[in-house]
């Protein structure tokens, strides 16, 4: 009757994770358990013993390590898999391709035991003897447990060659046997921690690191099923094919991804970034979102604006490298990211185009696209200002009203001046079916229109509240147009469940540039028990 582990497929999972452990070492070109040098190749299902065969660059040249993977292995000459494994070791040692003194073979067990530790100790003693005789004359000091394990090996050796039992047993033990105890299936165990360390040494990004560890397991399972083989170049290519890569060069573009509404997947983003493989800086704020509601705007602002945030690290390290902003996030967060980047050169923004035939990040048009100009209308003058910015949806109910719709009044009160920027193809109180912004230049130009309004408000307005509905690319560019030392305090508001609940004031220092960005809340803002807003 099969064991519970076998019935559940645990044995296969164990093999896949052991293979993934060595793939991670290969990825980092590092040493791993087994002591055969730096990893240079991993193979699967080769030879009588090799669930996983690892190639290393050792002092003696290329070395191989043949490993049989077991969750547990009772040491018995008559029961279980032990006799079969010992015979497989003998077949491995006898193979004409096996290099004595260089190659190794043995076991990886998830659950170690005292008998297996004793087997490993016997193997080291046998390897220290240059012939069978000295080994057998030096075993008087073995304890009873070690003698029991040795007897099990002898009994199996007798079934292999009854005329030369001791020589066979010595050769099985001393020709390079290793007994490794590891459990990379344990996500918090030392082997998985080591895997993450190896991968992180290449990518320096915790989120990408975990994604690559998962990818290595998936590669390992496929290679195992296909009896496959892979070296470092092949592994790089496999990872690159799904959007992962080694640490980019110093000239590679830097991509900052902002994720609060949905993730930015590497395989979707890669086609939109031409040329060299990018260095990616992920800002994942999805843990602050519950039921599509950002529950902690203050924490989100802190994560973006703190000195060691991924965004600030990217900005500080940019030098002459191109910087790319993209994301699937709340509008105020995108504006804040743009504000923190500022007016530095060589910055691009990308947009997710969900309605394209192939959903993608590529702009539908190049900068020669003849986009329409925005319509600007103004009501009132001096004092507080509200900017309604309608690109994809109509912000407000009536563009000719002297007062803003009730939802906006509830958030900021009645402003003294209202400016409405709107896409000319946007129907009154409606929405655009087509994408309102279709090129990089169009996104920049529309954000420039906001800058003109802010510039005009410098001497006449005490604060500005922006209510925007449109693509995230323009929100990034809007933030870049707000000047901390010139413009009045400018808040970008978030629309949620029929009301404006919170926003981010990008430059609260009243034009002096002294204060850091901060979250602003509507008077009736309340956080419900489970994080939703009412």
Task: Give the H/E segment covering residue 236.
Answer: helix 232-241
Looking at the domain assignment, is residue 231 inside a domain?
no
Residue 440: pLDDT over 90: yes
pLDDT in tens, 71-109: 999 999 998 999 999 999 999 999 999 999 999 999 999
CA–CA distance, 525 with 532 (Å, rounded to integer): 11
pLDDT in tens, 386-397: 999 999 988 876
| Domain shared by 340 and 388, yes or no | no
CA–CA distance, 187 with 193 (Å, rounded to integer): 8
| Domain shared by 331 and 402, yes or no | no
Q: What is the pLDDT of residue 308?
A: 78
| Domain shared by 286 and 389, yes or no | no
| Domain shared by 174 and 45, yes or no | yes
| Domain shared by 385 and 484, yes or no | yes
Residue 512: pLDDT over 60: no
- Our count of domains for the chain comes to 3
Q: What is the mean pLDDT of residues 362-375?
A: 91
DSSP state of 180: E
| Domain shared by 90 and 34, yes or no | yes
Looking at the domain assignment, is residue 208 inside a domain?
no
Q: What is the pLDDT of residue 231?
A: 93
DSSP annotation string for 361-416: SS-SS-TT--PPPPEEEEEE-SEEEEEEEESSB--SS-TT-SS--HHHHHHH---S
Stated pTM of the model: 0.58
DSSP annotation string for 15-28: HHHHHHHHHHHHHT
Q: What is the mean pLDDT of residues 306-325?
A: 82
Looking at the domain assignment, is residue 227 inside a domain?
no
| Domain shared by 161 and 43, yes or no | yes
| Domain shared by 408 and 474, yes or no | yes
| Domain shared by 339 and 407, yes or no | no
Q: Which of 181, 197, 215 is the last residue of a domain?
A: 181
Looking at the domain assignment, is residue 358 inside a domain?
no
Residue 47's contacts (CB-CB under 8 Å, 6 or more residues apart) are: 53, 66, 91, 92, 95
| Domain shared by 40 and 96, yes or no | yes
Q: Which two tokens stand for residue 58?
A: 């050792």
Under DSSP, is residue 323 helix (H, G, I), strand (E, B) or coil?
Answer: strand
pLDDT in tens, 270-290: 788 876 667 778 888 998 998
Looking at the domain assignment, is residue 203 inside a domain?
no
- Domain holding 286, by residue range, is 254-349
| Domain shared by 293 and 345, yes or no | yes
Q: What is the pLDDT of residue 280?
A: 78
| Domain shared by 73 and 167, yes or no | yes
CA–CA distance, 306 with 220 (Å, rounded to integer): 39
Q: Which two tokens stand for residue 431?
A: 């929405």
Given the structure tokens 């307005």, which residue do they identify?
461
In the predicted model, what is the mean pLDDT of the chain?
87
DSSP annotation string for 488-504: PPEEEEEEETTEEEEEE
């Amino acid at each position: 009757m099969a064991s519970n582990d076998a019935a559940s497929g645990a044995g296969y999972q164990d093999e896949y994770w052991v293979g993934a452990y060595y793939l991670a070492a290969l990825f980092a070109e590092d040493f791993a358990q087994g002591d055969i040098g730096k990893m240079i190749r991993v193979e699967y299902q080769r030879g009588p013993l090799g669930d996983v065969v690892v190639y290393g660059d050792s002092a003696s040249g290329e070395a191989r390590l043949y490993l049989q993977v077991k969750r547990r292995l009772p040491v018995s000459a008559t029961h279980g898999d032990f006799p079969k494994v010992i015979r497989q070791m003998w077949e491995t040692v006898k193979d004409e391709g096996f290099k004595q003194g260089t190659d190794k073979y043995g076991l990886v067990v998830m659950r170690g035991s005292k008998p297996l530790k004793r087997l490993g100790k016997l193997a080291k003693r046998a390897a220290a003897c240059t012939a069978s005789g000295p080994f057998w004359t030096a075993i008087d000091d073995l304890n009873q447990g070690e003698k029991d394990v040795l007897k099990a090996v002898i009994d199996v050796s007798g079934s292999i060659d009854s005329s030369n039992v001791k020589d066979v047993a010595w050769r099985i033990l001393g020709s390079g046997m290793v007994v490794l105890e590891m459990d990379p299936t344990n996500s918090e165990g030392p082997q998985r921690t080591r895997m993450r360390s190896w991968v992180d040494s290449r990518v320096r990004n915790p989120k990408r690191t975990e994604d690559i560890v998962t990818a290595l397991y998936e590669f390992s399972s496929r290679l195992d099923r296909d009896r496959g083989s892979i070296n470092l170049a092949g592994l790089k290519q496999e990872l690159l094919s799904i959007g992962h890569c080694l640490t980019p060069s110093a000239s590679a573009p830097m991509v900052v991804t902002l994720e609060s509404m949905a993730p930015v997947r590497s395989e979707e983003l890669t086609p939109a970034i031409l040329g060299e493989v990018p260095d990616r800086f992920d800002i994942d704020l999805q843990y602050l979102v519950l039921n599509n509601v950002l529950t902690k705007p203050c924490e989100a602002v802190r994560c973006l604006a703190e000195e060691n945030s991924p965004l600030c690290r990217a900005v500080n390290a940019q030098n002459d490298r191109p910087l790319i902003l993209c994301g699937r996030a709340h509008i105020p967060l995108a504006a804040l990211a743009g504000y923190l980047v500022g007016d530095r050169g060589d910055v691009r923004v990308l947009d997710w185009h969900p309605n394209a035939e192939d959903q993608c990040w590529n702009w539908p048009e190049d900068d020669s696209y003849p986009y329409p100009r925005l319509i600007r209308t103004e009501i009132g003058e001096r004092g507080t200002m509200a900017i309604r910015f309608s690109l994809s949806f109509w912000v407000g109910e009536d563009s000719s009203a002297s007062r803003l719709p009730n939802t906006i009044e509830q958030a900021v009160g009645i402003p003294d001046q209202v400016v409405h920027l709107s896409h000319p193809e946007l129907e009154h109180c409606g929405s655009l079916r087509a994408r309102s912004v279709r090129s990089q230049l169009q996104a920049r130009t529309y954000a420039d229109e906001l800058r003109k309004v802010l510039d005009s408000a410098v001497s006449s307005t005490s604060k500005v509240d922006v209510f925007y509905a449109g693509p995230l690319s323009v929100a990034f560019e809007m933030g870049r147009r707000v000047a901390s030392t010139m413009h009045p305090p400018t808040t970008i508001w978030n629309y949620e469940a029929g009301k404006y609940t919170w926003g981010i004031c990008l430059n609260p220092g009243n034009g002096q540039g002294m204060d850091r960005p901060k979250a602003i809340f509507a008077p009736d803002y309340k956080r419900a028990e489970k994080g939703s807003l009412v």
